[in-house]
Amino acid sequence: MTNRMLGMFKRAGDAPKYEQLYLLPFIGAAAAAVITGGASGTIPLLYLASALSCIFAIGGLATQETAAKGNILGVVGVGGGIAATLLGAGAPKPLLMQMMGTMATGSVAGV
């Protein structure tokens, strides 16, 4: 489901939703991995957070009420998996910058 499809079902009196707060645990794991430079315990922690986000995303997409949460968790999970792979690859910084530039270009084209 896309946010556009979910927006069709919003009503004027609906309570605000704070799905962005689901990002906080992932941001903490990603920050720990970046700050420690991919030390021995943080990359697996980031993989675990990403995997759990993807699993919860599948459960979130099960109903219309939780589909927005499922979308956000899916994006967080896949993005975290990509970030963990890049951090754990041990590639030189110029190569990492080239990879991130290529992914950013692809993301802009996809959006």
Over the stretch 38-83, which tens digit does the pLDDT of each residue have?
666 778 888 888 898 899 889 888 888 788 888 888 888 888 888 8
For the cut 60, the answer to whether the pLDDT of residue 26 exceeds it is yes
Determine if the pTM surpasses 0.85: no
Residue 19's pLDDT is 67
Long-range contacts of 98-101 (CB under 8 A, 24+ apart): none
First to last CA, the chain: 15
Residues 6+ apart with CB under 8 A from 109: none
Q: Tell me, what amino acid is at 61?
A: L
Instruction: Calculate Rg over the CA atoms of the chain.
Output: 16
Rounded CA-CA distance 89/91 in Å is 5
Query: For residue 23, which phi and psi values (nearest 5 degrees)?
Result: -75, -20
Rounded CA-CA distance 94/92 in Å is 6
Q: Compute the 3-state secondary structure of the chain and give helix, strand, coil in percent, each to the nearest 5.
A: 75, 0, 25
